[in-house]
Amino acid sequence: MDDRPAKPYDKIYVEIGNVCNLQCDFCPPVERGAGRMKRELFETVIAQAAPLAARVCLHLMGEPLAHPEFGELVDVCAAHGVPVEIATNGTLLGGARSEALLRPIVAQVNFSVHSFAANFPGRDVGPYLAEIFRFTRRALAERPDLYVNYRLWNLGGSDAERNAEVIARVEREFGVVVDRGVDVRRRKSRRVTGRLSLHFDTRFDWPRLDGPELSPRGTCRALSAQFGVLTDGTVTACCLDKEGATPLGNVHEQTLAQILDGERARRMRRGFAQGLLVEDLCRRCSFITRFDGRARRLSRARPAAAVT
């Protein structure tokens, strides 16, 4: 039984760098200046996040393993007792980076294996997967408690046809047969062995302020389950706010607790609770439609009204 006190948020997304060694078509370029979070700022963020978030995700934009001090940043999380989750394309695995991912504080590693086909449509996926398989074998032996996900988040995209090749190689490597029938509305994961799973999902469009307004109604888990911090210390409500279009504050000027209790954050929460989207970016977010069922229930319970 876990006797640790519950935290207000499930996750904090900390963007340790917005630079990536790939450019996937499903991941739009970052318009902000390229940068990496300095260790001193990271230590401040994690110290303040420790009582607030149950887990830190070392990604928002960028490839986290590209940070030159990645191992040291994992150690900072360990010092504050904050479990780590990471999403990586896996191309920079090996050496000290793999060792850092096997440390006890790391709770989950997500490999975006769909990224290979998106970047190298004509190349053999075998060598790429071989390094990921080597890491996974070590994790299964040395860290059987570590969750490892192979993400295929490209259903509905032009490169989804290559998923069959990836699944076949996973089956051969681990001596399993994977159920190919996927309905992500019901079940997204297929267990392979131990705590290794294939994780499927559909593609989505990143919201942007110059995109079309989709709806003034909806709800979201932003600011109830998660929030994000960009490389420069800007706090955002959501892991999809890649440009900081809804800045709530900056940790250089206020603490995380102060920012999350600020007027803009409170107004967003009130809106979500009423099934209303008060921010322009939220009204242009197609991902929010995944919560339409809850939004309809909220709208029926509360008449439409301006959020103040």
Q: ∠ at Cα 98 (96, 104), nearest 5°?
A: 100
Res. 304: pLDDT tops 70: no
The answer to whether residue 204 sits within a structural domain is no
Instruction: Name the E strands within 59-180.
Output: 84-88, 106-112, 147-155
Res. 33: pLDDT tops 70: yes
Res. 130: pLDDT tops 60: yes
Residue 266: give the domain boundaries: 226-300
Contact 200, 167 (CB under 8 A): no
The answer to whether residue 193 sits within a structural domain is no
Output the pLDDT for position 154: 80
Type of residue numbered 226: Q
Q: How far apart are CA 178 and CA 193, in angstroms?
A: 10
Structure tokens at 118: 């998106």
Res. 211: pLDDT tops 70: yes
The answer to whether residue 230 sits within a structural domain is yes
Which whole number is the average pLDDT over 89-117?
A: 96
Which whole number is the average pLDDT over 220-241?
A: 97
The answer to whether residue 266 sits within a structural domain is yes
Res. 305: pLDDT tops 90: no
Contact 72, 39 (CB under 8 A): yes
The answer to whether residue 122 sits within a structural domain is no
Output the pLDDT for position 218: 93
Contact 136, 196 (CB under 8 A): yes
Res. 75: pLDDT tops 90: yes
Structure tokens at 75: 């150690």
Which whole number is the average pLDDT over 289-301?
A: 61
Closest CA to 299 of 270, 264, 275: 275
Output the pLDDT for position 163: 85
Type of residue numbered 208: R
Residue 108 CA to chain centroid, in angstroms? Answer: 11
The answer to whether residue 62 sits within a structural domain is no
Output the pLDDT for position 1: 44
The answer to whether residue 276 sits within a structural domain is yes
Mapped onto helix, strand or coil, the DSSP state of residue 55 is strand
Q: Which residues of 160-171 are buried (b: 16+ CB within 10 A; e: fewer)?
A: bebbeebbebbe
pLDDT digits (tens, 9 = 90+) for 161-173: 788 899 999 999 9
Res. 52: pLDDT tops 60: yes
CA distances to 117, 119, 126, 127, 152 from 123, rounded to whole Å, are: 8, 9, 9, 10, 17
Question: Dihedral of the CA atoms 272, 275, 279, 283 (nearest 10)?
Answer: 130
Rg (CA), the chain: 20
% of residues, the chain, pLDDT over 70: 89
Number of domains in the chain: 1
The answer to whether residue 270 sits within a structural domain is yes
